[in-house]
Structure 1
């Protein structure tokens, strides 16, 4: 009877976990492993691009790839993990519940926006956290063009000045011009709790963000918190009122709630702390990867970020190690020493930096070419070809 690896999630880490596990089985000429991916649909949603226009196109089908690699897909959503019985119960689109067993479980359920108890946030704020919510925002922006031109209609407030907030805010001026015309005076405002724009980044990177924001007319409200959101705008904790028909929440993410079901240690973002082979201490048959894993990337104390850059590599290591444990092969300790930042800055261009100290290497159109290569090619699934897919899934191959 085959030993079974069950992977929950088909995002970056889940997809690459499956391919990497299949690769190792093929290298060992083993037909002992069964690899199954459980997710709502056999597709990769290219979430890093959800700040862009035409978001419905950022979905890559996985059926042909999975078929080529003998990976089984179960269409449904995981609801309950039983680590003692080594089963996962899940619900399909018809509401039917099924229980599936595993020998090794890889939890790759990703993350979701963190929504604090702010008045009106759930009712009135938009977000680009998931494909469906990003589509709602896009339809809302389309509908605005049929409304009378007012300061509220022409103003967008982005709550949160992290990576997603910056990319969305700097993209919005062009998206608004496309709808309202070049002569309409529009305004994009970023509300940020920190004291400087891009405060999470190096000084060199912050300077570029500031320069691009000024050139694009993106305003920043620094040292500012959101008190309440309603249908007509946002009220800040300072008492300032910003009239806006479009308030977008981008302030923080946390791991999927499924992580809460495991008796394990978590960090402040609900990510499961894992050892160097990405197993959960005390639960050796369970691996966490991608945005569900708090993992050390090197011996310098750096930990993986909740980005596709880390999710892809974490997935390759998790899949390899889960398969290795069933094939009696030594696992690979997860390491991802190289780190880059490539931040899209809308019509201004982009900025590309290298290293954890974020040394800026290129800006404007040169960096934009790098950004496009990453988001339009590098992070997409490999071709449905065993040789190509397996070469890309090698955990030790250079990625960035």
Structure 2
């Protein structure tokens, strides 16, 4: 009797889950287990690059890869997970509801930007969370050149001084001058409630952020938050107003709402607690990977973060372990003790650190070369060649 592994999501974790499951089944000569991936589109969207220009090109088609490796793709949006009946209901491309059964489920549905009920946020702010929103921002930036010259037109407020906020902000001066002219007096202001620049990233990486901000002209407003957004700018929670033609929201991410349906322990970001094999706590047939999983990376108390650095190996382990259970071989304990950070700092360069305390190893142009390699090569899908793709899905391959 054929068994079935169902994967929800075609992001980094979902794609690698599918390839890893097929890899293990191939190794054991098993053709009685089917691997299906359910997602709205058969493409990997290169989300870590959405702060860059030309965002429309930052997607990699997966049809040929899935065909080469025998992964069945079903186009649809997952709506409901019935763990008792082991079925997932989804809406297909025609808008009709259908369902798929499973023997093992891997939830790799990713995360979304958190949008709190800040007045005017939904109507007037932009973001770089999904490719459609990033493309909307890009279209808006191009449209600034058609507006009359003014300080507000040339001002961008970036709400949030975390990883996404910093990469977005430091890229903007170059992007704006490419649109408005080299002599345009552009102004980019980062609003962050932290007490220090890059507070969430730690002391090791801060000097590079400060230097890049000075050289690029990035302003920081610390210890404050955006209280309201309107068509002409923002009001901060200390009462100050900043006139700006563009407001970009980058604050906070939450795991897919599908995690709420499982009745399992979740953290403050909505991520599911998983064991060493990436099985969801309290559920025998469900694994989680990528941004939906809170997984211990080592024995020192460190946990995965919402990034492709962790999503890729989490997918490889989850796919391997779901297949291992069905065919009766030993699963692998997820382990990823090495942690690195490579933060893009626009035209200034980048900074590369190692360790959870972020010890600086490369800075400036050298780090920028590494960042460009990561963004343009390392995180893209493997070639649509069965042997090459399955070899690349080995969980033992280090990512960082």
TM-score range, shorter chain: over 0.9
How far apart are 1:399 and its partner, in Å? Answer: 2.0
> What is the number of residues matched between the two proteins?
400
Aligned equivalents of 2:16 and 2:39: distance in 1?
14
The answer (yes or no) to whether the contact 2:312–2:399 under 8 Å persists in 1 is no
**Structure 1 position 130 matched with structure 2 position 130:** yes
Q: Quote the Cα distance in structure 1 between the aligned partners of 2:195 and 2:217.
A: 19
Unmatched segments (≥5 aa) in structure 2: none
Tell me which residue corresponds to 1:40.
40
Matches within 5 A, 1:91-106: 91-106=91-106
Q: Which residue of 1 aligns with 2:389?
A: 389
TM-score by length of 1: 0.99
Looking at structure 1, the residues matched to 21 and 115 of structure 2 have their Cα atoms a distance apart, in angstroms, of: 35
The CA deviation at 1:115 is 0.9
Rounded Cα–Cα distance in structure 1 between residues aligned with 2:202 and 2:10: 33
Q: Distance in 2 between matches of 1:62 and 1:339?
A: 28
Task: Note if 1:206 corresponds to 2:206.
Answer: yes
The offset of 1:223, in angstroms, is: 0.3
Any idea what SS the aligned residue of 1:208 has? Answer: helix
**Aligned-partner Cα distance in 2 for 1:372–1:265:** 37
Instruction: Specify the alignment match of 1:53 in structure 2.
Output: 53
- Match of residue 240 from structure 2: 240
List gaps (5 residues or longer) in structure 1.
none
Deviates more, 1:240-249 or 1:386-395: 386-395
CA contact under 8 A between 2:8 and 2:78: conserved in structure 1?
Answer: yes
The structural deviation recorded for 1:207 is 1.0
Equivalent residue number for residue 153 of structure 1: 153
* 1:1-400 superposed matches below 5 A: 1-400=1-400
Q: Counterparts of 2:201 and 2:125 in 1: how far apart (Å)? A: 26
Secondary structure of 1:204's counterpart equals coil
Give the CA RMSD over aligned residues: 0.7
Give the secondary-structure state (helix, strand or coil) at the position aligned to 2:343.
strand
1:200 deviates by 1.4
Supply the distance in 1 between the matched residues of 2:361 and 2:375 (Cα, whole angstroms). Answer: 18
Whole-angstrom CA distance in 2 between matches of 1:174 and 1:366? 19
Distance 1:201 1:186 in 2: 26
Is the contact between residue 8 and residue 106 of structure 2 (CA under 8 Å) also seen in structure 1? yes
User: How much does 1:86 deviate?
Assistant: 0.2
Match of 1:203, SS state, is coil
3-state SS, counterpart of residue 89 of structure 1: strand
Measured against aligned partners, the alpha-carbon deviations of 1:11-41 in whole angstroms (never above 9, x if no partner) come to: 0000000000000001111112100000001
State the Cα distance separating 1:386 from its structure 2 match. 1.6
> What is the rounded CA distance, in whole Å, between the counterparts of 1:149 and 1:39 in structure 2?
44
What is the CA-CA distance between 1:392 and the residue it aligns to?
1.2
1:8 deviates by: 0.3
Residues of 2 paired with 1:181 and 1:281: CA distance? 55
Tell me the secondary structure at the aligned position of residue 182 of structure 2: coil
- 8 Å Cα contact 2:69/2:390 also seen in 1: no
- Which aligned segments of 4 or more residues in structure 1 are displaced greater than 6 angstroms? none
1:343-375 per-position Cα deviation (integer Å, ceiling 9, x unaligned): 000000000011111110011110011001111
CA distance in 2, matches of 1:173, 1:53: 12
Moved more, 381-390 or 285-294: 381-390
- TM-score, reference length from structure 2: 0.99
CA distance in 2, matches of 1:257, 1:399: 27
Alpha-carbon distance between aligned partners in 2 of 1:145 and 1:227, rounded to the nearest angstrom? 28
Once residues 399 and 165 of structure 2 are traced to their aligned partners in structure 1, the CA distance between those partners, rounded to angstroms, is: 26
- Which range is displaced more, 269-278 or 194-203? 194-203
* Cα distance between partner residues in 2 of 1:16 and 1:387: 14
* Contact 2:341–2:358 (Cα < 8 Å) also in 1: yes
